[in-house]
Structure 1
Amino acid sequence: MNIQRLHLQPFTFNLSPFTFHLSPRLFNSALLSDKSALSETRNRHESSDFRIIKMAQRRQARNIRGPHSALTDFLASNNISAAQIRDDYDRRATGATQQSPEVEAAHSPSAAESNGSPEANSPEDVTKKRKRQQAIARIKNTKAFARRKAQRKGDDDDDDFLAGQMVDEKQQPKPGQLENCETCEKRFTVTAYSKTGPNGGLLCADCSKKQKGDEKKAPAKKRGPGIGRRQNQANLLDGLTLHGTQSLLETCIKKVADHIHDVDEFGDLPPSLLLRLGQILSRRRSVTSRTLNLFLRPRYKSIDLFDCAKLGTDDYHKILASMPHLTRVNLRFTTPMKDPIFDYMIERDMQIKDLHLDGPNLVTDDCWRRVFIKLGHRLQSLKLWNLDSAFDDETAMVMCNNCPNLQRLKLKFLAKIGDNTLKAISTLEHLQHLSLHPMPETKAETESLVQIIAAVGPQLNTLSLEEFELVDDRLLQHIHEHCHALSKLRLTQNATFTDQGLTNLFQGWSNQALIYADLHSLRDVDMSNPTGPPEPVGLASNGFIALMEHSGSKLQHLNIASCRHVSYKAFEEVFAEDKQYPDLKYLDISFSTAVDDYLAQCIFRCCPSLQRLVVFACFKIRDIHIPRGLAVIGTVGATLKVDGITQSETI
């Protein structure tokens, strides 16, 4: 463009409040005067750009890079510009400062009167409504809407409202963005914990706290019909309850146990109710130094607490001092008990006849011997469980020599006793109830038990021998010959007894009919040979038939769990149509895989007084009709019908 040839007519332009008149001659002279300055500036910039390009080329040729931090590399790789972030922040801050007076003006009464109501049919409103309806229609076709609708209690008319809520939720700012509080208009950063206000907007932290304080606690939801079923089944397994409504007395006892920390005194409760309260509180592990005071009655002669783990040494002294007339002490989980407690018992010369302790590991052998020497002549019942550090064979011999009046003896899981203890027990002439359960590593010989049976067998009413793995059929033969007054027999966890030996025990036995029989886990343990050896090991078909023929008329409790060699034919013969077992109330046939629906119905027919049937791992039981008042425990995926009421069991 040649500026010298530019010819312009005179023109006038108006910049209020001034008016300018510029002639062509004056305009051309101004342009010509700036020509030299313009050329000089252009040359300077071109030379500067040339130098910069040359420097960059030399750096690239030498592989020279400027200083870059890890953050700079990360921002560059993700196309993040710090200048853009700063500009966005400045724009939002400027918008917030400009929005505050506008919002105040919009909410003022004068603005509301001057603006009037918005036009309902304006093009902007129609477009917004149409887009919202389209968004609602899309939301209704999503799985999220279906899940939300399934969780919501309402009619079909609420679909639009629910979809609208979901649209509003999607339109709300995401965490990290800035938003104005709905209540106080304060600018804050949105987080994942930002609460929604009453009009659908978001609230800042202060307003969220105020709203949370104003909200009332929602009423507790009603429990569905199947919510308490798991606890009910647990109670059935523990023998705490049967199907049906609890008695008024049981309900009152549980209500007292629920508020035990608010009870100051039980009042004049009979010992039976104190025993039941002690059982419930022990089960809940609520026996503490405070609740112990509720059970201390100076005129009572017995105390039963089944969980003393939270009691201290002073609490045991308090028991002995507060109840001087004690004759029966039954305390479980007594780990803090030590020698001074028994020394106090000896000094007071207490009249204790029944001593039942579980876990007093801190009591030494010397202390046990002093107790038996000083108080042993009064003891009639002694039950000790779980002693690892004390009570050896020498202590057991002192016990047998100084406790001639013992009628009931139970020793379970005592780590230091062996065959010498068993030989000493045979000297107790008045023994009527004997229960022994050694540690697994204790290898007791058959001769020691045979000596006990030969000496005290004729007067025994209860015999319980558990986990004597090496004892053979000679023990069964001596029980058959010497025991004639047994009402309870427990022989468990043995893989040496044979089916023929058990058959010979019950056939022609002069003993009265048993009331309690526990023969579980008498079986061959070779899992590689599920059918067992040619001669059946443990309780098999012939032994089971002989047991029921001998004691079926009086039997009340029977446990033959894990006796897997009892055949289908034996069950069918025992529970035939012409057989009746009127007193049988408890039957455990777990892991008897031969039992099916037909045999289960035969059991129901032959046992009219049956209250609990345990059938764990009896997978052939699928669809049975249960008489009312009977609890069937252990079915998996079976359909049970209780007098027309059908329910699926998945215990």
Structure 2
Amino acid sequence: REFAKTVYTMAAVPGPGWLCHPCAKATGNDPFKKPQGPRKKKLPADKRVITSFEERRFPSLVSLCVQLITKYIDDVESLGDIGTLNVEAISKALSKNRSLTSENVQLFYNVANTTLTLYDATNLSPDAFQTLAFLNPNLTTLRLDFCGQINDEAFNTMSSSLPALTELELLGPFLVRPPSWINFFATHPNLERFLITQSPRFDLECLETLISSCGSSLQELRLKEIGKIDDEFLQELSRLGSDDYRHRLTYLDLSDPGESCGEEAMIDLLSALGPELVYLNLSNHILLTDAFLSEGILPHTRILRSLILNNLPELTDRGVASFFESWSNNPPLVSLDLSRNHLLADNALTAILEHSGEALEELNVNGWRHLSEDVLISLAIRAPELRKADVGWVRDMTDFVVKAWVDGTPQGGVETKLKGGKEEKDPNAMQVDTVVVRTGGCKKLEEVKVWGCNRITLKCPRRVRNLFSDMKRADGWFVEGHEYLWY
């Protein structure tokens, strides 16, 4: 039989000759079948076994009740008085779900209220804020988070309807203009705490009125993320240190400005207010250098307990170390945050522990990439009161450091042995206390953040039961930022 030969024509086996398509199919071969390519190698699967240490627990009766009330919040008034603590829990649950509205927020209003906190007021309209002022006329303390819908009319109503207000904390009052701020300060001369964050319209005239009207009573001031803050603001604040006011300011937060204030103006401010300050936050004033520490904080502070100076890129390791070595006129700090200052290293932390180690409860050295393991381990001996630590992006943060903080350091230190021409630490240092005698340890440790610490491994202590009797978290402690949480 004659047929046309194509690329699909198959040779006869045995030859010679060629097979037509029907004959080729009869032999069990498909001339039109595409040839298979080489098989790809199967990549090995990830063999790591990540164990979950989270325990499932039955919810408490209180939490079930709070969830039920939250679900039927619009009908909850029919229950009558449900207690102050329960109302607080319901408020937090609603805020967490962003379910607080102009209708159900009235559950938290009471003419007898002296304190009111709303953790998420995003959905409240301007009219709702006016209603808040009318139905809570005796408030002395008010905190509103995410209150972006407060406008001038609502804020003026609050100024006139809350005459007893002495403490005000607002997060995000974007729409309040200077005349409304000025009116509020003029009508509240006994204001003691004024804490605002993210208020772009707050200007120098507002601050002048605040100082003139409330300067003698003001104890805490936060002007955080205020875009218009500058050296003139600092000069005006310095008036509080004059004999006309006899200021009582102990808390000052001027962090995260639109543009950094100058170093000389900041030194002048501390010379006026520093002796009475207990809390100071000047984060992100990037023009501050070591000179600010030696000429501003060092000579002018005497009772400071909390210091926050994160993201000051001009600070140096030697400068910070020299500052703490010379800071003998101030008691040990309880809380210290020097995160995102990448030039700081062993000298600075050693001096910090020498000055404040015995009292230090919170320490943030996030981003100190040059810290050595030995200095980190020394916290187990020199910072016995440590409760919270952030050591994110510290390269030498290891399992041995965490073990030392939790259980103490081995007597005589951690031995190193040569193995294959490479030094390795004695694995017994990670064993329980019956194997290695230990001293020290941060027995009150509650939280350790280790984001970016890639030398933390699965061998790190993952679970500690009944180790700390006075912990806030009765079920244990945890390390945050790795692929597992410890409870």
State the TM-score bracket (shorter-chain normalisation). Answer: 0.7 to 0.9
Distance 1:397 1:310, change over 3 A: same
Asked if structure 2 preserves the Cα contact closer than 8 Å seen for 1:383 and 1:411, the reply is yes
Q: Give the equivalent residue in structure 1 for 2:451.
A: 616
Q: Is the 8 A contact 1:581 1:608 kept in 2?
A: no
From the superposition, tell whether residues 254 and 555 of structure 1 become closer, same or farther in structure 2 (CA, over 3 Å): farther
Q: CA deviation at 1:244?
A: 7.3
Measured in 2, the distance between the counterparts of 1:419 and 1:249 equals 51
Tell me the distance in 1 between the aligned counterparts of 2:324 and 2:106.
50
- Alignment partner for residue 545 of structure 1, among 319, 341, 350? 350
Correspondence for 1:449:
266
Within-5 A mapping of 1:351-430: 351-375=164-188, 377-388=189-200, 390-404=201-215, 405-428=217-240, 429-430=247-248
1:506–1:243 Cα change, 3 Å: farther
Deviation at 1:245, TM superposition (A): 7.2
Name 2:330's counterpart in structure 1: 511
Relative CO higher for 1 or 2, CA cutoff 8 Å, sep ≥ 6?
2
Relative distance call for 1:597 and 1:349 in structure 2 (3 A) is closer
CA change 1:247–1:516 in 2 (3 A) is farther
Q: For 1:624, what is the secondary structure of its paired residue? A: coil
TM-score (norm 1): 0.55
Cα distance between partner residues in 1 of 2:60 and 2:302: 40
Deviations 1:335-362 (A, max 9, x none): 2212222332344461110111122222
Distance between the aligned counterparts of 2:312 and 2:345, measured in 1?
13
Question: What is the Cα deviation at residue 573 of structure 1?
Answer: 3.5
Report how many residues are paired: 384
Matching residue's letter, 1:379: L
Q: Which residue of 2 aligns with 1:25?
A: none
Per the TM alignment, residue 394 of structure 1 is displaced from its structure 2 partner at its CA by 2.2
The one-letter amino acid of 1:414's match is I
> Structure 2: which amino acid aligns with 1:616?
W
AA partner of residue 598 (structure 1): F
2:422 counterpart residue number: none
1:435-493 deviation digits (Å, cap 9, x = unpaired): 11233x41310112111211111111111111111111122122122212112111101
Q: Which runs of 5+ in 2 are unaligned?
A: 1-49, 241-246, 408-440, 466-475
CA distance in 2, matches of 1:451, 1:464: 16
1-structure distance, mates of 2:283, 2:405: 28
Alignment match, 1:527: none
Q: Conserved in 2, the CA contact under 8 Å of 1:243 and 1:631?
A: no
Which residue does the alignment assign to 2:157? 344
CA distance in 1, matches of 2:397, 2:369: 11
- Supply the AA of the counterpart residue of 1:497: L
Q: For 1:562, which of 349, 359, 367 is the aligned residue?
A: 367
Deviations 1:365-397 (A, max 9, x none): 12211222222x111100111122x11122222
Amino acid at match of 1:400: I
Residues 393, 438 of structure 1: alpha-carbon distance in 2 compared, 3 angstrom cutoff: farther
Counterpart in the other structure of 1:495: 313
Structure 1 contact 541–570 (Cα < 8 Å) conserved: yes
Verify the 8 A CA contact 2:324 2:355 in the aligned structure 1. yes
Over 3 Å counting, the alpha-carbon distance change for 1:432 and 1:245 in structure 2 is farther
Give secondary structure in 2 for the equivalent of 1:356: strand
**What is the deviation of 1:248?**
5.2
Instruction: Return the letter of the residue paired with 1:392.
Output: D
Larger radius of gyration: 1
Deviation of the 1:621 alpha carbon: 1.0
Please name the residue that 1:461 is paired with. Answer: 278
SS in 2 for 1:616: coil
Please tell me whether the aligned partners of residues 266 and 294 of structure 1 are also in contact (alpha carbons under 8 angstroms).
no
8 Å Cα contact 1:450/1:474 also seen in 2 = no
Q: Is the 8 A contact 2:138 2:162 kept in 1?
A: no
Distance 1:315 1:400, change over 3 A: same
Task: Pick one of 247, 255, 260 that aligns with 1:437.
Answer: 255
Following TM superposition, by how much is the alpha carbon of 1:265 offset from its aligned partner in structure 2, in angstroms? 5.2
How far apart, in 1, do the equivalents of 2:479 and 2:224 lie?
Answer: 30
Alpha-carbon contact 1:588-1:615 (below 8 Å) kept: yes
User: What is the DSSP-based 3-state SS (H/G/I as helix, E as strand, rest coil) of the residue aligned with 2:406?
Assistant: helix
On the 8 A contact 2:137/2:162 being kept in 1, the answer is no
- What whole-Å deviation, never above 9, does each CA across 1:168-213 have from its counterpart, x for those lacking one? xxxxxxxxxxxxxxxxxxxxxxxxxxxxxxxxxxxxxxxxxxxxxx
Structure 2: distance between partners of 1:542 and 1:248: 52
* Equivalent residue, structure 2, for 1:313: 126
Query: Aligned equivalents of 1:561 and 1:430: distance in 2?
Result: 33
What is the CA–CA distance in structure 1 between the aligned matches of 2:79 and 2:67, rounded to whole Å?
14
Cross-structure match for 1:328: 141
Using structure 2 for the length normalisation, give the TM-score: 0.73
Change in CA separation of 1:339 and 1:266 when aligned onto 2, cut-off 3 Å: farther
In 2, Cα distance between equivalents of 1:402 and 1:556: 37
Distance in 2 (CA, whole Å) between partners of 1:245 and 1:565 is: 45
The answer as to whether partners of 1:446 and 1:472 remain within 8 angstroms in 2 is yes
Question: What is aligned with 1:625?
Answer: 461
In 2, the alpha carbon distance for the partners of 1:317 and 1:338 equals 10
After TM superposition, give the deviation of residue 572 of structure 1 in Å. 3.4
Residues 130 and 158, structure 2, Cα contact 8 Å, conserved in 1: no
Residues 417 and 290 of structure 1, relative CA distance in 2, 3 Å threshold: same
Offset at residue 267 of structure 1 (A): 4.1
Measure, in 2, the Cα distance between the counterparts of 1:543 and 1:266.
Answer: 58
SS at match of 2:132: helix
* Distance in 2 (alpha carbons) for counterparts of 1:246 and 1:618: 34
The equivalent residue for 1:285 is: 98
- Report matched runs for 1:129-148 at 5 Å: none
Q: Following the alignment from structure 2 to structure 1, what is the Cα–Cα distance between the partners of residues 336 and 58?
A: 30
> What do you get for the CA RMSD once the two structures are aligned?
2.6
Q: How far apart in 1 are the matches of 2:148 and 2:298?
A: 40
Aligned sequence identity (%): 28
Shift of 1:510: 2.5
User: Residue 337 of structure 1 contacts residue 363 of structure 1 at CA under 8 Å; is this kept in 2?
Assistant: yes
Displacement, 1:315? 0.8
Structure 1: gaps of 5 or more residues: 1-225, 233-241, 524-536, 643-651
User: Is the 1:432–1:459 Cα contact (8 Å) retained in structure 2?
Assistant: yes
In the TM superposition, residue 270 of structure 1 has moved relative to its aligned partner by 4.6
Instruction: Tell me if the contact between 1:561 and 1:590 (Cα under 8 Å) persists in the aligned partners.
Output: yes
Higher helix share: 1
